[in-house]
């Protein structure tokens, strides 16, 4: 989600820098560009801070390939995250994303260096944080605020069971249900499916890990309970079967077993909802000529928001699921036992 959203912001900013006649030069004006999604589950937090402008004599395509043109000099700004309730301030250190394991993808913009601002301070679910970018030339600080989503609680599959189980029966659905607070708004559900493949004599051939996102983007429900907002997503068994058939070849001289599924629920903050609403309002054939960018910054463009994650590990696939798969091809040809 992180890289996709930033790429979209970058593309839209580039488009808005051009006139209707595609003139790629215009009077010089610097615009702060910021992107950050903070999560209390992360051991390190990163903020991308850049600048966008057009030079009256140079093509925007050329400027985008010059690192000094898209990044602030190290001496020009200071970046902080502040805990709003307590006033506690965390300074962020400028680092090269390439050396942190976050290389920038090839494209319009220069890829090296990939300057980011980093802190390893612990962030607390449910608390409100402020981003503050201090510009050392005397101009006003650039600020934005967000409240991190509180911790999510999975209700189904039932985490109290030993083992925790999930069932996919033909022509039926399986429910994923969880509680969240009001700050968790848009959610994704991901499966990490671990599979063991054996020879017919029982010896190990290999282990596979498949990654499936049955619910890429859903809004939480408005059903408020004493435990928070209760959201239920139904996952069709046929979609589970179809995913396995697409990812695994038939097994004729081997058999397979499920070793467990790790279910991850990731929820993003209110600002993501507003961003999506703004994009939807300006999309389509009847939309505006240029997409109106959502931003929650005091100046410039970008998004400063939060997310949270909960993982239900090692969920067992029930024997009934395997029996249902073996009722007919092509699922039967996968030879799960």
Rounded Cα gap, residues 146 and 274, in angstroms: 12
Considering the domain boundaries, does residue 135 fall inside one? yes
Considering the domain boundaries, does residue 227 fall inside one? yes
Same domain, 113 and 27: yes
Same domain, 167 and 242: yes
Considering the domain boundaries, does residue 69 fall inside one? yes
Dig out the tokens for 136 from the structure.
């050392």
Same domain, 73 and 218: no
Same domain, 30 and 79: yes
Considering the domain boundaries, does residue 291 fall inside one? no
pLDDT at 86 over 90: yes
Assign 83 a pLDDT band (cuts: 50, 70, 90). Answer: very high
Same domain, 56 and 120: yes
Percentage, residues of the chain above pLDDT 70: 80
Predicted confidence at residue 275, as pLDDT, reads 80
Considering the domain boundaries, does residue 295 fall inside one? no
Considering the domain boundaries, does residue 50 fall inside one? yes
* DSSP states along 92-108: PEEEEGGGGT-PPPSSS
Running DSSP on this structure, what letter comes out for residue 295? B
Any idea what the CATH number is for the domain that residue 93 is in? 2.60.40
Q: Compute φ and ψ for 175, nearest 5 degrees.
A: -95, 135
Running DSSP on this structure, what letter comes out for residue 336? B
> Mean pLDDT in the chain?
85
Report which of 56, 58, 64 is spatially closest to residue 15, judged by C-alpha positions: 64
Last residue of a domain, one of 120, 148, 176: 148
Same domain, 199 and 321: yes
Structure confidence by residue, pLDDT tens digits, 250-302: 999 999 999 999 999 999 998 988 887 776 665 554 444 444 578 999 999 89
**Core vs surface per residue 292-310: b (16+ CB within 10 A) or e:** ebbbbbebbbbbbbbbbbb
Rounded Cα gap, residues 324 and 312, in angstroms: 24
Considering the domain boundaries, does residue 306 fall inside one? no
Same domain, 94 and 32: yes
Last residue of a domain, one of 148, 166, 187: 148
Same domain, 6 and 138: yes
Running DSSP on this structure, what letter comes out for residue 88? -
Residue 171 sits in which domain range?
A: 153-267+311-334
Last residue of a domain, one of 125, 148, 171: 148
Domain count of the chain?
2
Same domain, 81 and 138: yes
Same domain, 136 and 227: no
Same domain, 92 and 175: no
pLDDT at 90 over 80: yes
Considering the domain boundaries, does residue 257 fall inside one? yes
* DSSP states along 34-68: EEEEE-TT-SSEEEEEEEE--BTTB-HHHHTT-HH
Structure confidence by residue, pLDDT tens digits, 200-255: 999 999 999 999 999 999 999 999 999 999 999 999 999 999 999 999 999 999 99
Residue 264, sorted as left (phi over 0), alpha (psi -120 to 50) or beta, turns out to be beta
CB of 128 within 8 A of CB of 88?
Answer: no
Same domain, 59 and 127: yes
Rounded Cα gap, residues 37 and 131, in angstroms: 11
């Amino acid at each position: 989600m992180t890289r996709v959203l930033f790429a979209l912001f970058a593309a839209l900013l580039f488009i808005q820098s051009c006139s209707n006649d595609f003139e790629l030069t215009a009077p010089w004006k610097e615009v702060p560009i910021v992107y950050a999604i903070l999560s209390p589950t992360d051991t390190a937090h990163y903020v991308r801070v850049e600048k966008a402008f057009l030079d009256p004599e140079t093509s925007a395509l050329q400027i985008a390939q010059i690192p000094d043109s898209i990044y602030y000099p190290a001496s020009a700004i200071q970046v902080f995250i502040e805990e709003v309730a307590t006033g506690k301030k965390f300074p962020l250190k400028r680092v090269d994303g390439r050396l942190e394991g976050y290389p920038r993808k090839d494209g319009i913009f220069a890829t090296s260096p990939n300057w980011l601002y980093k802190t390893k301070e612990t962030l607390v679910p449910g608390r409100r944080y402020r981003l503050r970018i201090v510009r050392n030339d005397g101009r006003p600080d650039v600020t934005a605020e967000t409240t991190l989503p509180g911790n999510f609680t999975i209700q189904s599959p039932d985490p109290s069971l030993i083992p925790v189980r999930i069932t996919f029966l033909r022509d039926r659905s399986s429910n994923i249900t969880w509680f969240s607070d009001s700050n968790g708004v848009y959610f994704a559900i991901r499966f990490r499916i671990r599979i063991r493949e054996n020879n017919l004599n029982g010896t190990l051939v290999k282990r596979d890990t498949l990654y499936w996102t049955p619910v890429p983007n859903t809004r939480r429900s408005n059903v408020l309970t004493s435990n928070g907002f209760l959201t239920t997503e139904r996952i069709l068994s046929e979609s589970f079967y179809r995913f396995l058939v697409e990812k695994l070849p038939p097994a004729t001289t081997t058999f397979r077993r499920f070793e467990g599924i790790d279910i991850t629920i990731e929820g993003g903050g209110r600002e993501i909802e507003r961003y999506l609403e703004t994009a939807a309002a300006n999309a389509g054939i009847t939309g505006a000529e240029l997409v109106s960018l959502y931003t929650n910054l005091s100046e410039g463009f970008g998004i400063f928001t939060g997310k949270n994650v909960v993982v239900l590990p090692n969920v067992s696939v029930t024997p009934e699921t395997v029996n249902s798969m073996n009722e007919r091809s092509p699922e039967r040809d996968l030879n799960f036992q």
